[in-house]
Structure formats: C-alpha cells, structure tokens
Amino acid sequence: MLQALLLGLVQGATEFLPISSSGHLVLVPWFLGWEDPGLAFDTFLHLGTLVAVLAYFGHDLWDLALAWAGSLRERSLGAPQARVAWLIILGTLPAAVMGLTLEGFFERLFAAPVWVSIFLLVTGLLLFLGEGVRKSESRMESLTWLDALLVGLAQGVAIAPGVSRSGATISAGLWRGLEREEAARFSFLLATPAILGANLLQLWDLARLPGAREVASTLLLGFLAAAVSGYLAIRFFLGFLKRHSLYPFSLYCWLLGTLTLLLALRG
C-alpha cells in the first residue's frame, strides 16, 4: 500500500510537470529496490491522471466537443474552438501511429535505467531550447495544421521513458510561437485522447490477466493518489508558468539524468 501511494503520487505529479512520469516510474522502484508493479498497476495510475485532466479541463473539453460536433454539422471551421478541436485530433495521430508501431521497442527501454537517464538529459535540453527560442506570445487558436502535427510528433517521441510528454509538447508549442501557459494548456488537452487511447489498449490486456481483483485495494489507492496529485500538479504548473520560466525543470532533468547515469554505469 505504501508503494502504491508513493508511485501514485509520483505518477500524478510527473505526468504534468515536465520531468517525465515514465522515467520516474522506472527510476523510483529502481532506486528503492522494488519489483516492477506490473501492467495492472500502471494502467490504473494512468487512469488516475486521465481523471485529473478531465476534472480540471472538463468544461473546456465539453465546449471543444460541442464545437467539433457543430463543425461536422455545419461543415465549417469558423468557430475558434472547433478549429482547436480538430488540431487536437490531428496532433494525436503521430503518437497513435508511433505507439502502435514502436511499442515493443520502447517497452525494452523501460528496463534500462541508462536509457532513461539519457532521455532525461534530452528532456532538459528540450526545455532549455524551448524557453530560449520562443518566437512570440500567440494563443493556441492561432496554431496551423503543421504546428499541430509537430507538437503531436513531440508527443509521440515522448513514448520513450525519460522523455517528458508535457515537456516535449510544451517545448514544441513554444517553438511554434505559443506563450507558456497556452503551450501548457494545449499540451494537457492533447494528452486527453493520448492517455485515453493508451489505456483502452492496456485495459484490453488487463482484462485477460488473472488475479487483478485480488489487489483491487492497492490499485484503487494508486489510482486515487495519481488523480489527486495530477490535479494539483496541473493547477500548480499553470500558475507557475504565469510568472516563471521552464529553466528550473530543465536543471532538474539534467541533475537527475546525470545522477542516474553515473549510478547505472557503476552498477
């Protein structure tokens, strides 16, 4: 139960802070000598973060869904929210394709802390460059189709453990001209179909696993911890970006990546 609580808190916080939830879920058990919690637990943690997004952005997502349905009915993209909805759908495609075609390759990387540490260093670099080369202070309604595809490609690359999904997509949004908070909002909205799609696939696999009911209380605790910490992380991070840059998170990724790399190379 203690492990479930800690890993749930870690998952929820690091899913939305740009420091890689997948990397932390590899490194925390590795540091503490814990066994891999398995598919069922991983699935419930991600469902918790999905609930966090829905709870925080529920009103926005509902408006986007209505605008999207209206664009189909009227065959028009005149409404800004309808355009954003289509951009989110378009931005989801690269991650879906990469996830389905490269799933086995990325799964093998999860067993290698060395690769996690290297990808954490890459995340730090992405954050540093994204903050340093910001072009303008645009809103997400101004994104083009190409912009959405590039941000979506960044989300696809983040399947690799240690590459932060939010960090990669926010950095890509900054490169394409979004202001910090808008880049983060687009990143979190883009995460909704990605997390939902990945978990539908995992739930299909989970349904065929024996013994899942025997650890229901542990799964529920991890789920709740991830949901609560994820909601608080979104709220904190959006407020943080109004006044501060991404450089502290870049430094954190570099420090953790360097420490992990040194420990992994020393065995």
Q: What is the 3-state secondary structure (H, E, C) of 155-219?
A: HHHCCCCCCCHHHHHHHHHHHCCECHHHHHHHHHHHHHHHHHHHHHHHHHHHCCCCCHHHHHHHH
Instruction: Give the residue from 50, 87, 92, 88 showing the smallest Cα distance to 200.
Output: 50
> pLDDT tens across 105-159, in order?
766 766 678 889 999 999 999 999 998 886 667 888 889 999 999 999 999 988 8
Mean pLDDT for the stretch of residues 240-249:
94
Give the lowest-confidence range in 122-126, 206-210, 234-238: 206-210
pTM of the model: 0.91
Per the structure, how many domains does the chain have?
1
Largest CA distance in the chain: 62
Burial letters for 66-105: b for 16+ Cβ neighbours within 10 Å, e otherwise? ebbeebeeeeeeebebbbbbbbbebbbbbbbebbeeeeee
Tokens standing for residue 90: 């378009």
Phi-psi region of 112 (alpha: psi -120 to 50; beta: other; left: phi over 0): beta
What single letter denotes the amino acid at residue 33? G
In this predicted structure, the answer to whether residue 212 has a pLDDT above a threshold of 60 is no
Closest CA to 150 of 132, 179, 122, 170: 170
pLDDT digits (tens, 9 = 90+) for 101-110: 876 676 676 6
Angle between helices 2-16 and 21-32 (to 10 degrees): 150
Mean pLDDT of all residues in the chain?
Answer: 88
Parent domain of 37: 2-265
Please choose, from the candidates 228, 250, 128, 235, the residue with its C-alpha nearest in 3D space to the C-alpha of residue 181. Answer: 235
